[in-house]
Amino acid sequence: MTTYKALLTQVHACTLCAAYLPHGVRPVLQLHPQARILIASQAPGRKVHESGIPFNDASGNRLREWMGITREVFYDPKQVAIVPMGLCFPGTGKSGDLPPRPECAPAWRRPLLGHLRHLELTLVIGQYAQAYHLGAQHASLTDAVKSWRDHWPQVLPLPHPSPRNNLWLRRNPWFEAEVLPALRSRVAELLTG
């Protein structure tokens, strides 16, 4: 097996989707074999593409709040791995960012996740990550998140923490009341365990 450092070098040199990326190639992820928590998300947005730092935006602020952790803990790859379905910003469509490029996950996901041997919790954010990690067992993102106990405590499906989802959060108060306290407790347990 390729060392994780050699694999990351290969990932950062990838040009598989270059012809389809209007803003260019810039894989954004965070990985270390010691990580116990994985954030399996969609794809970097424009701000993250520009900074090269995963979740370095309003979505990241909300996600860290949901998890109950600081930026320092969040950006410690020995504690939290961040591997989106698409590693590069796919560009913007009519109603938000385009979906992750379909070439990316088949090329890189299995080799990257194969290095996470201490993984105990995977946060599965958004419909593309949920389809990959949970399969087609849920009719919608809301159904997947409502069924969170079916996957607990190893996997937790989440809505995207984007401010664009404020309406979803208002319509689903059970998420904040039931899911977030369980998430914070589990994250604290793993980070101190």
pLDDT of residue 136: 78
Q: Report pTM.
A: 0.96
- Percentage of residues of the chain with pLDDT beyond 70: 99
pLDDT of residue 18: 96
Per residue in 26-74, pLDDT (tens digit) is 999 999 999 999 999 999 999 999 999 999 999 999 999 999 999 999 9
CB-facing half-sphere around the CA of 58: CA atoms within 13 A: 6
Distance in angstroms (rounded) separating the CA atoms of residues 104 and 26: 12
Do the beta carbons of residue 123 and residue 39 sit within 8 Å?
A: yes
- Torsion angle of the four alpha carbons 98, 138, 175, 62, in this order, in degrees rounded to the nearest 10: -20
3-class secondary structure per residue, the chain = CCCHHHHHHHHHCCCCCHHHCCCCCCCCCECCCCCCEEEECCCCCHHHHHHCCCCCCHHHHHHHHHHCCCHHHHCCCCCEEECCCCCCCCCEECCEECCCCCCHHHHHHHHHHCCCCCCCEEEEECHHHHHHHHCCCCCCHHHHHHCHHHCCCCEEEECCCCHHHHHHHHHCHHHHHHHHHHHHHHHHHHHHC
pLDDT of residue 2: 87
Distance in angstroms (rounded) separating the CA atoms of residues 8 and 157: 26
Per residue in 88-132, pLDDT (tens digit) is 999 998 888 899 999 999 999 999 999 999 999 999 999 999 999
